[in-house]
């Protein structure tokens, strides 16, 4: 038993942290936040050159052949730095969807392209409010032409291709669709976190290629979401750490009533509670990371557990960091809201907290029954 | 105990209802949060109408432009006007905070001249207390006023001033003696906001809006006749103003419940209204007990005031409870919408994206007018009589108090 | 509009408080807590002589002809002093049940007896776990002989008569049963608060007299519980006040790190939160009191609101009072646990918090629909 | 990262499983909370068996009666023994707190003589730090030890001493110099608990039980050879003991989840298991994330210790989170049972009235071994490095520190 990352993995994390702290300051994040660009293309290019999207792609498919643990430590740093890039959409979602759903020859042709960043992918599954319900999918395919409407598609406005959930003769499947064809129209949506932008995609008889692996679509989507949930939980704890650090620094330097604000018990205990929530989330995330890397049968429960506690911890840490800052925390000028917005955005994709709590309980009872 | 109107109150309510029916704008279905700036001119016009009809500042004496009625009449007015799409409590800071200060400290001719124009919103007033280095510790303020003959020269910066950009006058608290302990070296004035030397800059908030301002004073002038209270007596005067502020806001501050109650009945997931979800019902019950409790507490407080009592520090509880639940409600509402909850487009998100906007505005409500932590201190010390923290700055001359990285 | 009790009512409350503070010290409560007696018979006698059980009984029935508002202020003082008497069982439940369910001539004969304390009544309705479900009642009556088993009967071991829920030819009704007959056996149950003792009652062909008023049993029980919920909420806020006062006194006198424990923000804010919860509960209780006294259609919602917030406030106040005391709060010697036990007992009778939260929502939606 | 055993660990686990199967008492279905007193003799006998088999104090060096294994082996042992109805961590305070103190401070021959008997539970040890006037502020203790030649005379009172009534020895912290500041005037010893002048009185708890004691010292004697560390160095020594205590308890402290998980699956209301109630599922999910998080956090900590690190203050979080959820779970469980939830009879209440007993014991868990508030201070100051409160007693001679109504 060893409940920690290896020295190699910690080295990768340190490298990632150093790179992002120099290349992805919050000043740079704000260029995307304030709409100067839809995402940070230059940063994304650097990230591609560092090979991060290739981390969990096998060498035979042009990847680095590292594992999910390495992807987890990178995720933590992307979350800490609020990197405004389509890493979630293209790596955790599109790439993993292809690994799970595509046939060998499809993987052989697409994964190398994703590994070297030839194109940015995204996942288009949601059509209505509430968490995804595969059975309710109305987007459909006839003769390899896909029609329908998808909403809340993460980075859907800038991605090159989308993995789209649609039904063909009543059977749900995943389809690769090039978003730069005339039969596809996209509308960027105003999002609570502009650095994780959403879009609505409309398909009108768009050319689509079915992912023809033999896994059942509903169950592979469930596995896909579990994998993403673990990776997201690392982005979330990275954000928790950053928010806590920000609050500590500010209140340690600021004085009220002739003493450091950070010396008041109300503030100290607030930070202690933020730390506790983050530490629980981190431990659950580690367990999820192990289950993911070991492809352990406990992954579904571990993923739901990691996700629920990461959502709770980031909401608490990001909102109480604002609170600890007092009035300045409510200003656009201070960075507090960047974490708060990110906490909201990360908690809502893949279905919000109540949805994952219910999944957690179902899975807990299933294991108990087994 | 009677939660219904007395015959006289019922009479007043009927009269108010009739007048509103004839003069006020009906509510439009799911009207979202509007921008304060846009509503401003509309609000001024509306208040003039209210004033002319004699309903402005119901509790103020008639000679100062009020209606000479009780707090209960004011409640009735608020309940009725709330049914319309008209701003109530828009000028709450001027009328709720500055007005009482003038009534208490200003000379009779000043009251006669200024208060009616404040009541009719012809003159708009703001309150200038907070500073970048004096938030929770208001008494740490540094904006200084130096006496020159019969006037005072003001230099410094105030912050979080609502409506400063619209204001004609402001009630300002200044440091007039840095050599005595911080609570003894302050003096309160009212100042002409339209003069040179007063520069108002809007603050961009985390939600993108700008309800608040920074105000810079550069050799601005105040005639000594506009001093409110004794030189060095500013803190006592300020406490009186803040006490009235808590009473003024405890009625009008949003707690998020009514909008949430509407949402859960209209939002459908899987074709089912979410109100059928027992987890939603569980939250709904808890938040309703708080919502109802705040309302009833405010009314109990007003009863006490109507009986001649002072507004007590209990008012802090409505602010504390309402602000926290307002944020948690907004967060929970987005969680119910799941992936689409992050969409802020008014056209797509329920209730014109009320909850998406509220998630981003809610943190400010927990900070403005005293943070959660300050509210708890006030309750602990002023209501429960618990001992103060040992004071690090006790007995120090203001200029000697450690101040760290203040800017 | 007047959201406060009248001077007369405040005078009654002050009299009650003075009487109880001299006659019902916690030392005296402990005689019952520690099993020296099943309840404080002497105190009950004094209370009867003061006419408190007669407060809300009309003069024509030998009562004082005062109203529920007067009963509410007395309830607050009984809760504050933890009085170990069958006031809830006999006054809020048995007496009110008779007022709601008995025929005029039955009321004319029984209410005067209750008014002058000739006998102690109780209510026996529950048969199984969870909140009461009238439809699930198995206790039955044939030819005025009642048979069945009731559990968690408050003061059932010492009451003289019980109002029992039973079915006759499949129709539920309430029956007055003398508990001192051979056909009734009673078993005292070990209870979380021995000063509000529970019992199991077994009826084997016991003589029973049907309450022959014309109200429907299910709906009158609902009204009965709403009335009791309001009265209990006053006992609960009385207890909240006492617990808060106890915590303030102790921590103000106790020193740690060279200063008063009550001067630490962690303790001050704890008390502030207790005060806030209590104040919300008090305001909701006042509204319930008015709705009760005015027999207003809002009583069902007002009662559920008062009950839910009183349950939450007393749990918080009683447990955090222990916490503020530190180790001594966990001792038998200190009185903290008396309030904590009482908070538990009062929250569980009439069905616990989740049950009342659901009632609250049902009623809120019904009013909205109306 | 690997949450599964290495081959060597798997081997060890198999061996432990086999030994336990042959020697340990199987769990009886829904075994409720037993009284500590009753279990005592059974526990001593059991520990002797464990010791003879070489599994006692797995992490201690062999020469001191341990097994010379790692923290991970200890975890494996705890996981396996937890499946049986045998007390694990019964002598946790002696072996977890006092043992390390001896190893660090005692003379070699003392270690050789005392530690093996501690490991085998032939000698039982207790820890004597807290006092009536020194709870959260342990360093405020007053029990004084005065040097007379080569021995010390002890007078005063300790409180909250678990197992003192069974103990042969105790590690005690005494005031040896009231004229210096409080942290510098303490010295640590170990004392013979069976001597005259040591009087142990059980404390009756609010739940009726007596897990803790008051210990009175009336001219009790300690040879100077039993001093642990330098004269006046007691506080540093105590911190080391407390650090080990947090590690020791963070594994074994109840958080209430396993029992609650059993309850919701077995308790039926309206003929339906309550686990089908979405409100219950909502709580279940939240509490499971905390339960799983505490477990995984403890294991991460042990990994760090196994790699040679010191047990950090992070251990405080398991205590803080577990104690609070344990109380809320018990309360919620009773609420689910509604009226019958108040019935404490083991024969009638689910799981032998576990939750009724737990409601009454839970407050103690939030206090024993450091209150919630102390845990938050430890995390804030020792983990997050936030500044201390301004210290009212700073630099004062102990005897001059204000102490109010202490008794």
The total of other beta-carbon atoms located within 10 Å of residue A113's CB is 16
Which B positions 157-216 lie with beta carbon below 8 A of chain C?
none
3-state SS, residue A264: coil
Beta bridge partners of D201: D214
Choose the mutation target among C30, C151, C165, C192 for the interface with D, i.e. most D CBs under 10 Å: C192
Q: How do strand B268-269 and strand B272-273 relate by DSSP bridges?
A: antiparallel
State whether A368 and D296 contact (CB < 8 Å). no
Among the listed ranges A103-117, B24-38, B103-117, D12-26, which one has the minimum average pLDDT value? Answer: B24-38
Q: Could you give the C-alpha distances from C332 to C79, D158, D209, D357, in angstroms and in order?
A: 20, 18, 9, 15
Q: Does the structure show a pLDDT above 80 at B207?
A: yes
State whether A1 and D72 contact (CB < 8 Å). yes
Q: By the 8 A CB rule, do A306 and A284 touch? A: yes
> What integer is the mean pLDDT of C58-83?
97
Q: Which of B212, B198, B246 is nearest to B97 (CA)?
A: B246
Q: How do strand D125-128 and strand C255-256 relate by DSSP bridges?
A: unpaired
Contacts of A255 in chain B (CB under 8 A): 402-406
Q: Does the structure show a pLDDT above 60 at B31?
A: no
State whether B1 and C2 contact (CB < 8 Å). yes
Which B positions 325-384 lie with beta carbon below 8 A of chain A?
327, 331, 334-345, 348, 356, 359-360, 363-364, 366-368, 371-373, 376
Please, which pLDDT band fits residue D88 given cuts at 50, 70 and 90? low
Please, which pLDDT band fits residue D405 given cuts at 50, 70 and 90? low
Can you give the pLDDT at residue B41? 83
Instruction: Give exposure, C93-116, as e/b (b: 16+ Cβ within 10 Å).
Output: bbbbbbbbbbeeebbeebbbbbbb
Q: Could you give the C-alpha distances from C215 to C11, C210, C224, C350, D109, in angstroms and in order?
A: 36, 13, 12, 20, 86
State whether B5 and C1 contact (CB < 8 Å). yes
Cβ burial of B390 (10 Å; 0-12, 13-18, 19+) is middle
| Cα nearest neighbour of A136 on chain B | B270
Closest-CA distance of chain B to residue D278, Å: 6
State whether A69 and D1 contact (CB < 8 Å). yes
Beta bridge partners of C210: C175
Phi, psi values for residue B186, rounded to 5° = -115, 150
Which of A248, A291, A312 faces D386 most closely, judged by CB atoms? Answer: A248
Q: By the 8 A CB rule, do B228 and B189 touch? A: yes
Can you give the pLDDT at residue B34? 56
Q: What value does the mean pLDDT of chain B take?
A: 90
Cβ burial of C82 (10 Å; 0-12, 13-18, 19+) is buried
Please, which pLDDT band fits residue B185 given cuts at 50, 70 and 90? very high
- B324 Cβ under 8 Å from any chain C Cβ: no
- The pLDDT tens digits for C277-313 are 999 999 999 999 999 999 999 999 999 999 999 999 9
Phi, psi values for residue A275, rounded to 5° = -65, -45
- D9 Cβ under 8 Å from any chain A Cβ: yes
Q: Could you give the C-alpha distances from D179 to D38, D175, D185, D186, in angstroms and in order?
A: 45, 10, 8, 11
Which of D292, D320, D373 faces A276 most closely, judged by CB atoms? Answer: D320
Closest-CA distance of chain C to residue A368, Å: 25
Please tell me the distance from the alpha carbon of residue A267 to that of residue D381, in angstroms, as a whole number.
12
Contacts of B77 in chain C (CB under 8 A): none
Which of C133, C193, C352 faces D336 most closely, judged by CB atoms? Answer: C352
Say which residues have a Cβ less than 8 Å from residue D167's Cβ, sequence separation at least 6.
D94, D124, D125, D126, D193
Instruction: Give exposure, C204-219, as e/b (b: 16+ Cβ within 10 Å).
Output: ebbebbbbebeeebee
What is the ipTM metric for this complex?
0.95
Q: Does the structure show a pLDDT above 60 at B407?
A: no
The four Cα atoms A27, A33, A35, A36 give a dihedral, to 10 degrees, of 20
The whole-angstrom distance between residue D406's C-alpha and the CA centroid of its chain comes to: 26
Can you give the pLDDT at residue D407? 44
- The pLDDT tens digits for B89-131 are 668 889 988 999 999 999 999 999 999 999 999 999 999 999 9
Say which residues have a Cβ less than 8 Å from residue B325's Cβ, sequence separation at least 6.
B255, B256, B257, B287, B290, B291
Among the listed ranges B37-51, B245-259, C115-129, D98-112, which one has the minimum average pLDDT value? Answer: B245-259
Q: By the 8 A CB rule, do A370 and A300 touch? A: no
pTM for the model: 0.95
Among the listed ranges A173-182, A259-268, B68-77, C115-124, which one has the minimum average pLDDT value? Answer: B68-77
Cβ burial of C5 (10 Å; 0-12, 13-18, 19+) is buried
**Chains touching chain B at 3 or more Cβ pairs under 8 angstroms?**
A, C, D
Please tell me the distance from the alpha carbon of residue A65 to that of residue D293, in angstroms, as a whole number.
30
Closest-CA distance of chain D to residue A183, Å: 43
Can you give the pLDDT at residue D251? 63
> What integer is the mean pLDDT of D219-229?
97
Q: Could you give the C-alpha distances from D230 to C225, D112, D115, D182, in angstroms and in order?
A: 67, 21, 21, 16
Which of D278, D300, D386 faces A283 most closely, judged by CB atoms? Answer: D300
E strand intervals along D224-282: 227-228, 268-269, 272-273
State whether A272 and D379 contact (CB < 8 Å). yes
E strand intervals along A250-337: 255-256, 259-260
The whole-angstrom distance between residue A175's C-alpha and the CA centroid of its chain comes to: 21
- The pLDDT tens digits for C162-199 are 999 999 999 999 999 999 999 999 999 999 999 999 99
Q: By the 8 A CB rule, do B306 and B72 touch? A: yes
The total of other beta-carbon atoms located within 10 Å of residue B41's CB is 10
Find the distance separating the first CA and the last CA of chain D, reported in whole Å.
52
Cβ contacts from B onto D, under 8 A: 14
Please tell me the distance from the alpha carbon of residue C85 to that of residue C74, in angstroms, as a whole number.
13
Q: By the 8 A CB rule, do C87 and C53 touch? A: yes
Which of D278, D390, D392 faces B279 most closely, judged by CB atoms? Answer: D278
Length of chain A equals: 370
- B390 Cβ under 8 Å from any chain D Cβ: yes
Contacts of D388 in chain B (CB under 8 A): none
Phi, psi values for residue A207, rounded to 5° = -60, 130
3-state SS, residue A298: coil
């Amino acid at each position: 038993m060893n409940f920690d990352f290896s020295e190699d993995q910690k080295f990768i994390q340190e490298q990632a942290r150093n790179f992002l702290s120099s290349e992805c300051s919050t000043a740079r994040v704000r260029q995307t936040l304030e709409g100067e660009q839809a995402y940070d293309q230059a940063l994304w290019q650097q990230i591609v050159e560092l090979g991060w999207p290739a981390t969990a792609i096998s060498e035979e498919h042009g990847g680095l052949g590292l594992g999910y643990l390495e992807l987890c430590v990178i995720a933590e740093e992307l979350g800490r730095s609020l990197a405004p890039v389509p890493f979630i959409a293209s790596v955790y979602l599109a790439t993993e969807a292809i690994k799970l759903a595509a046939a060998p020859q499809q993987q052989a042709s697409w994964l190398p392209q994703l590994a070297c960043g030839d194109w940015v992918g995204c996942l288009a599954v949601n059509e209505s409010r509430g968490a995804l319900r595969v059975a309710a999918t109305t987007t459909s395919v006839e003769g390899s032409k896909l029609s329908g409407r998808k909403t809340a598609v993460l980075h859907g406005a800038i991605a090159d291709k989308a993995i789209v959930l649609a039904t063909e003769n009543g059977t749900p499947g995943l389809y690769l669709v090039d978003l730069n064809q005339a039969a596809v129209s996209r509308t960027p949506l105003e999002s609570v976190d502009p650095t994780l932008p959403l879009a609505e995609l409309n398909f009108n008889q768009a050319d689509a290629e079915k992912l023809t692996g033999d896994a059942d679509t509903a169950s592979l989507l469930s596995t896909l979401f579990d994998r993403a949930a673990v990776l997201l939980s690392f982005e979330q704890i990275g954000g928790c750490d950053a928010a806590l650090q920000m609050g500590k620094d500010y209140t340690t330097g600021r004085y009220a009533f002739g003493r450091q604000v950070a010396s008041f018990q109300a503030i100290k205990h607030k930070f202690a509670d933020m730390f506790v929530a983050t530490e629980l989330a981190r431990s659950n995330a580690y367990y999820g990371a192990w289950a993911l890397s070991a492809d352990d049968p406990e992954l579904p429960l571990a993923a739901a557990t990691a996700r629920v506690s990461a959502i709770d911890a980031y909401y608490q840490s990001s909102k109480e960091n604002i609170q600890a800052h007092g009035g300045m925390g409510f200003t656009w000028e201070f960075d507090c809201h960047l974490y708060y917005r990110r906490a909201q955005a990360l908690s809502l994709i893949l279905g919000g907290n109540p949805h994952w709590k219910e999944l957690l309980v179902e899975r807990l009872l299933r294991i108990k029954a087994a | 105990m009677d939660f219904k109107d007395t015959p006289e109150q019922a009479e007043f309510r009927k009269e108010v209802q009739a007048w509103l029916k004839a003069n006020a704008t009906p509510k439009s279905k799911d009207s979202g949060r509007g921008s304060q700036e846009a509503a401003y001119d509309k609000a001024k016009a509306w208040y003039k109408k209210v004033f002319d009809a004699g309903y402005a500042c119901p509790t103020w004496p008639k000679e100062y432009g009020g209606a000479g009625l009780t707090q209960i009449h004011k409640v009735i007015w608020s309940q009725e006007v709330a049914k319309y799409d008209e701003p109530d409590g828009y000028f709450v800071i001027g009328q709720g905070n500055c007005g009482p200060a003038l009534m208490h400290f200003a000379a009779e001719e000043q009251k006669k001249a200024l208060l009616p124009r404040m009541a009719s919103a012809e003159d708009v007033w703001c309150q200038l207390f907070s500073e970048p280095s004096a938030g929770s510790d208001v008494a740490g303020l540094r904006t200084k006023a130096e006496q020159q003959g019969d006037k005072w020269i003001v230099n410094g910066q105030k912050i979080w001033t609502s409506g400063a950009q619209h204001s004609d006058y402001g009630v300002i608290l200044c440091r007039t003696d840095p050599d005595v302990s911080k609570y003894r070296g302050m003096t309160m004035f009212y100042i002409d906001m339209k003069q040179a030397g007063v520069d108002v800059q809007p603050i961009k908030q985390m939600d993108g809006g700008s309800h608040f301002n920074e105000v810079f004073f550069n050799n601005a002038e105040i005639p000594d006749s506009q001093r409110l209270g004794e030189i060095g007596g500013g803190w006592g005067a300020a406490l009186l103003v803040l006490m009235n502020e808590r009473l003024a806001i405890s009625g009008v501050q949003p707690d998020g419940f009514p909008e949430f109650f509407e949402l859960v009945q209209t939002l459908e997931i899987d074709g089912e209204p979410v109100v059928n979800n027992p987890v939603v019902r569980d939250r709904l019950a808890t938040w309703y007990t708080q919502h109802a409790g705040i309302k009833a507490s405010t009314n109990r407080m007003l009863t006490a005031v109507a009986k001649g009592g002072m507004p007590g520090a209990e008012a802090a509880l409505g602010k504390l409870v309402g602000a926290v639940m307002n944020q948690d409600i907004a967060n929970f509402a987005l969680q119910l919408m799941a992936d689409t909850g992050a969409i802020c487009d008014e056209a797509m998100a329920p209730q014109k994206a009320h909850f998406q906007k509220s998630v981003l505005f809610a943190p400010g409500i927990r900070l403005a007018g005293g943070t959660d932590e300050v509210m708890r201190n006030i309750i602990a010390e002023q209501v429960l009589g618990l001992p103060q923290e040992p004071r690090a700055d006790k007995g120090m001359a203001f200029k000697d108090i450690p101040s760290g990285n203040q800017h």
